[in-house]
Structure 1
Amino acid sequence: MSSESSTNQPVWIQDRDTVIAHDPNVEWRYQEPPDYSRTNQYLKQESKYNHLEGSLEAIVQNLVRAFEMEASFKTNPQQWVSIVADKFRMTTNGGTAYTAQDVADAGTYNLFLGDSEQYKASEEDFESSAHLFHNAFPNGFLWELIEVLAGPPNVTFKWRHWGTFSGPYNEHAPTGETVEIVGVSIARVNDDLKILSLEHFFDSGSFLNKLATGCPFHGQNNS
């Protein structure tokens, strides 16, 4: 199958649903491709930035969303079209450089957040971390690009991640508030706009502290 569609753009800089449909032989984590129909609906309702199709902002947003989808749902990094799998490295706040296989094995939450008082990545695996945050944000933890600060080959961009804290987080009850992270990332890309490395910079402590503000559960009253 060609890596380009009728738009004459590489598939990895088109919307993630196009990426999902691109290869029928993908090894999906849950045996079937993800369905982003609800997420797309919430994005349409809640996004603050509507980037013009074909703009650098839209291209970078599509590329990062494609990577996030592949990291979450494709178990074989050699099938990720958004990256150069054998060269890819990812860091957070100047920490350890992880490979694509590390990301596939541990999950982005664990590698982004590490160990802290509110979250112990060392005690979580891919499935448990995904379950924890999907419970806290049942309507999704959405991502969008705010602005591109510098273009290729070192694409520097500002972004926001947000969701409604409407489900429990560990022993903390939901507050119903919108929890938002704003950060900056640098994606080093090759001539084909595939990602060679990702560096993320954001305040993970502030994010986790907001989840820990919910009142603790105090055991169920069976009387």
Structure 2
Amino acid sequence: MTTRSNNLPLWVQDRDQVIAEGTGVQWRYQTPPDYSRSKKNLARESTRNHLEGTLEAIVQNLVRTFEMEVSFKTNSQQWLSIVNDKFRVSTNGGSEYTAADLAAQGTYNLFMADSQHYKASVESFESSAQLFHTTFPQGFPWEVLEVFSGPPNVTFKWRHWGHFDGAYKDYAPTKETVEIIGMSIARVTDDLKIISLEHYFDNTLFLEKLTAGGKQTNSESQGSACPFSSWFKKFHKS
């Protein structure tokens, strides 16, 4: 699949193009997201450089568009990347969720659920997003590593990473790069909209990395209060 991106559907082009062509969108923070900082981080830290128009680049664009829409478009009916009335998403073979579920609760809450170190049941969309922004103040980028099969059932391996420079709840930052490697299967239509999405990754290992630094003392906790909280609504997910 080597068609130039400007001949492909909008939702598998660069997400900045999707944002630019959006009209009447109900943005979560009233204004469109700005991914300029994310692009700099991706250019510096990505391990892959997929050529425009390749299957890898198309899959990467599609998932990044989907993640942008989940994070910033409050009305799931306006998401271009999915077949809204059919869409379902699951993690590690667990419960399936709709687009409306994602829009209301956010990806962190639905994909991680309740565990010793994260209680999805008590977190809101906004509180979970702020928590992980505090933990990864430089962003939490995502990239496709490899695509194993093409449409209609796209199977691919991916990498999520971030610099653990801020506290996670009351756990001290380790200043290390935290990396998640996962697999996903996306069932798509002929025009590359997502019908269903299955994610597989070790979220227990992820949380173990975020608690490896141990509990902070009260003085450490006060000294490391998130300096970004006053402009949280301007934060744009990678």
TM-score interval, normalised by the smaller of the two chains: over 0.9
How many Å apart are 1:114 and its aligned residue? 0.7
1:143-158, aligned counterparts within 5 Å?
A: 143-158=142-157
Q: Structure 2: which 5+ runs fail to align?
A: 223-238
The secondary structure found in structure 1 opposite 2:180 is strand
2-structure distance, mates of 1:77, 1:22:
17
1:118 has 2:117 as partner: yes
CA RMSD in angstroms, aligned pairs only:
1.4
Asked if the contact 2:157–2:184 (Cα under 8 Å) also holds between the matched residues in 1, the reply is yes
Match of 2:102 in 1: 103
Amino acid at match of 2:153: N
The secondary structure found in structure 2 opposite 1:158 is strand
Q: Structure 1: which 5+ runs fail to align?
A: none
Match of 2:235 in 1: none
**1:85-112 superposed Cα distances (whole Å, 9 cap, x missing partner):** 1110000000010000000000001111
2-structure distance, mates of 1:215, 1:130:
22
1-structure distance, mates of 2:5, 2:191:
17
Asked if the contact 2:82–2:193 (Cα under 8 Å) also holds between the matched residues in 1, the reply is yes
How many Å apart are 1:7 and its aligned residue? 1.4
Match of 2:32 in 1: 33
How many Å apart are 1:9 and its aligned residue? 1.4
How many Å apart are 1:6 and its aligned residue? 8.5
**1:135-191 superposed Cα distances (whole Å, 9 cap, x missing partner):** 000000010000001111010000000000001100011111000000000000011
The secondary structure found in structure 2 opposite 1:87 is coil
1-structure distance, mates of 2:5, 2:21:
12
**1:9-68 superposed Cα distances (whole Å, 9 cap, x missing partner):** 111000110111111210000000011000110000000000111000000000000000
Match of 1:74 in 2: 73
1:168 has 2:167 as partner: yes
Q: Runs in 1 of length 4+ with deviation above 3 angstroms?
A: none
The secondary structure found in structure 2 opposite 1:220 is helix
Please report the TM-score for the alignment, with normalisation by the length of structure 2.
0.89
Amino acid at match of 1:175: T
1:1-223, aligned counterparts within 5 Å?
A: 7-220=6-219
Please report the TM-score for the alignment, with normalisation by the length of structure 1.
0.95
1-structure distance, mates of 2:153, 2:8:
20
Which one is further off, 33-42 or 212-221?
212-221
Amino acid at match of 1:39: S
The secondary structure found in structure 1 opposite 2:6 is coil
2-structure distance, mates of 1:143, 1:111:
18
